[in-house]
Structure 1
Amino acid sequence: MQAERLLLIIEDDAAFARTLSKSFERRGYRVLLASSLDEATAVLRQHNPAYAVVDLKLNGNTSGLTCVQMLHKHDPEMLIVVLTGYASINTAVEAIKLGAVQYLAKPANTDDIEAAFGHVAGIEPVELTNRATSIKTLEWERIHEVLVQTDFNISETARRLGMHRRTLARKLEKQRIK
């Protein structure tokens, strides 16, 4: 496998990381996974990826921006794309300043991310696919957002979403990936 096709994904949502990983592997990338800054640092001791995808919000109050800074310091030539479900202009600007080549709001698919890797120093505009987001995806993202806000308290999340706790539990059980 060519070194330039080595990709590091730093994502604390294991299901999303696996899905993204499989999609990139089908495109010929060799994928390394990390769910935290410490795991990413350990991966970099043994590998030198040319690409990285970093989630902006990681568990344990770790910002993906810290990971971007560390990755850029490790290899200034690495192409880093930041993904977030909580997009803001401030974090987008900061991510680019720290070394990311692009900042994408979730849900971003593999086409979007791969196009973003080609967006180096503003040379080419990134064309996002014109796909519609399904209602199920939007619902899941909203549930996940409120879960994070409530520190994964099911009862409080259900209350904030205006649904019964058991209904929320069933929806979460359906989303579980084995």
Structure 2
Amino acid sequence: MSESAARLLVIDDDPTFNRVLVKALSQRGFAAQGALDPEAALTMAEALAPEFVVLDLNLGGRSGLQLIRPLLEASPGVRILILTGYASIATAVDAVKLGAVQYLAKPADVDAILHALQASEVLPAGVLPAPAMPLSVDRLEWEHIQRVLAEHGGNISATARALQMHRRTLQRKLARPPWA
């Protein structure tokens, strides 16, 4: 690996996925390193000053969104890609507003990740590309629930009251996304 290789930090709490992605990105010419938790990620970001970050949205039950600002402070100009298995429009908008440049749903292959990281255009805050296919009714309901949940700071009981839904019904819906 050359001295001029772009520095990249992968932050994902799944050790196998983290290791495989770091290896794949290293083979593509990046100086890639991985962190499994927010604390290690921030320490590595300060030492590495990465140019790119691939950040999982869910880090052991904690939101990866909380790391965006500290990562930007540790390495101004870093391009942050949110990669998640729990994609929603609400979290995509929040991620972009906080400073992420791209947002991808898992599963995503290495080529899609590289394309998103190196895209010259950054999604403007609150603007997402139109989906190729219209969302299903189940997916629309999921998106609405995610938006209301975000408005209530992740509080299930408050969200259930706002949606006029029993809390257990809401928990069942949250446990089973429409694409599962």
User: Which TM class, normalised by the smaller chain length?
Assistant: 0.5 to 0.7
Shift of 1:40: 0.9
Corresponding position of 2:58: 57
Q: Which residue is 2:103 aligned to?
A: 103
1:10 partner amino acid: I
Q: State the distance in 1 between where 2:11 and 2:39 align.
A: 10
Offset at residue 121 of structure 1 (A): 2.2
Partner of 2:141: none
1:151 maps to none
Residue type of the alignment partner of 1:78: V
1:8-38, Cα deviation, whole Å (9 max, x unpaired): 0000000101111111011011111111110
CA contact (8 A) 1:9 1:31 kept: yes
What letter matches 2:25 in structure 1?
F
**Structure 1 unaligned residues grouped into runs of 5+:** 127-159, 162-178
**Which residues of 2 match residues 78-117 of structure 1 at below 5 A?**
78-117=78-117
Q: How much identity, in percent, do the aligned residues show?
A: 40
Mind listing any 5+ residue stretches in structure 2 that lack a counterpart? 130-174
Please name the residue that 2:44 is paired with.
43
Whole-angstrom distance in 1 between the partners of 2:76 and 2:47: 17
The amino acid of 1:13's aligned partner reads: D
* Alpha-carbon distance in structure 2 between the residues aligned to 1:66 and 1:12: 15
Which residue of 2 is the match for residue 70 of structure 1?
A: 70
2:7 match: 6
Instruction: Tell me the equivalent position of 1:33.
Output: 34
Count of residue correspondences:
126
Measure the CA separation in 2 of the matches of 1:27 and 1:117: 13
**Given the two structures, how large is their TM-score scaled by the length of structure 1?**
0.65
1:121-142 alpha-carbon deviations (Å, 9 max, x no partner)? 249x99xxxxxxxxxxxxxxxx
1:81 is displaced (CA, Å) by: 0.4
Query: Any conservation in 1 of the 2:5–2:29 contact (CA below 8 Å)?
Result: no
Structure 2 residue 24 is the aligned partner of structure 1 residue 23: yes
1:62 shift after superposition: 1.7
Return the alpha-carbon distance in structure 1 between the equivalents of residues 4 and 75 of structure 2.
13
Over the aligned positions, Cα root-mean-square deviation in angstroms equals 2.4
- TM-score, normalization by structure 2: 0.64
The one-letter code of the counterpart of 2:87 is: A
